[in-house]
């Protein structure tokens, strides 16, 4: 149940609660809101995402400045993507957006400045011949990364754990298995069907 709610599977969570005769303590409407926001990010509609977040949680982007910058930078990337796909290749909208929304935030933060400079470099090269560090910015994986950050931030505001309990258990088991193998003790290797990155001992125990 915890996993279904956190991952935004509203219908499955409702069905599970009914079949198991459980009362879900989390507002499932908020789960659908997170799903809608995540889908909008995956489709590159970042302006809608920012507006929706400000409607639902007005304080979130004001207090989580790194998240706000990540969304604005992704919005700039989407504008550059649109410029590259337009017949005239007009970059004025992207330049105006960067000047208004991102440039004022960059001087006081070296990471922001580096990220902005790398993003603006997209305007200097053809999209079909980008170096790997720039090609990463155009990869849909970046949308997914930002969507995950937004989802976690909203969950935190709502007082819901950012990670499903089942994933914590899998990570803890992976740590225990790695520890036992390092001590040359036998332990059966069980595939639980979740792709969880290996964690260090400190990460696993702190989850």
Please, which pLDDT band fits residue 171 given cuts at 50, 70 and 90? Answer: low
For residue 114 the two structure tokens come to 């580096």
**Tens-place pLDDT, residues 85-141:** 888 888 999 999 999 999 999 998 999 999 999 999 999 998 988 999 999 999 999
Q: How many CB atoms lie within 10 A of CB 121?
A: 14
Contact predicate 163/6, CB 8 Å: yes
The three-class DSSP label of residue 21 is coil
**Nearby residues of 127 by Cβ (< 8 Å), 6 or more positions away:** 81, 84, 138
| CA dihedral of 120, 123, 128, 132, whole degrees rounded to 10 | -20
CA distance 23 to 99: 49
Please, which pLDDT band fits residue 188 given cuts at 50, 70 and 90? Answer: low
Q: Tokens 């001590």 sit at which residue?
A: 183
86-95: long-range contacts (C-beta < 8 A, 24 or more apart)?
Answer: 91/123, 94/123, 95/123
CA distance 101 to 66: 13
CA distance 117 to 173: 41
Give the residue-averaged pLDDT of 175-185: 71
Q: Model pTM? A: 0.69
Give the residue-averaged pLDDT of 17-27: 55
């Amino acid at each position: 149940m915890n996993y279904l709610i956190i991952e935004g599977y509203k219908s499955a969570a409702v069905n599970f609660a009914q079949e198991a005769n459980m009362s879900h303590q989390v507002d499932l409407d908020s789960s659908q809101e997170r799903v809608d926001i995540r889908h909008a990010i995956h489709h590159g509609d970042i302006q809608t995402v920012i507006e929706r977040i400000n409607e639902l949680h007005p304080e979130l982007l004001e207090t989580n400045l790194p998240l706000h910058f990540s969304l604005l930078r992704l919005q700039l990337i989407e504008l550059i993507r649109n410029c590259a796909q337009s017949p005239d290749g007009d970059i004025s909208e992207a330049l105006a957006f960067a000047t208004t929304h991102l440039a004022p935030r960059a001087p006081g933060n070296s990471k922001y400045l580096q990220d902005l400079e790398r993003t603006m470099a997209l305007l200097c090269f053809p999209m079909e011949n980008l170096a790997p560090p720039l090609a990463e910015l155009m990869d849909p994986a970046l949308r997914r990364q930002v969507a995950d950050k937004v989802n976690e931030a909203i969950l935190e505001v709502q007082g819901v754990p950012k990670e499903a309990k089942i994933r914590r258990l899998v990570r803890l088991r992976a740590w225990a298995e790695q520890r036992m193998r390092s001590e040359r003790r036998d332990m059966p290797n069980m595939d639980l069907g979740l792709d969880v990155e290996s964690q260090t001992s400190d990460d696993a125990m702190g989850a």
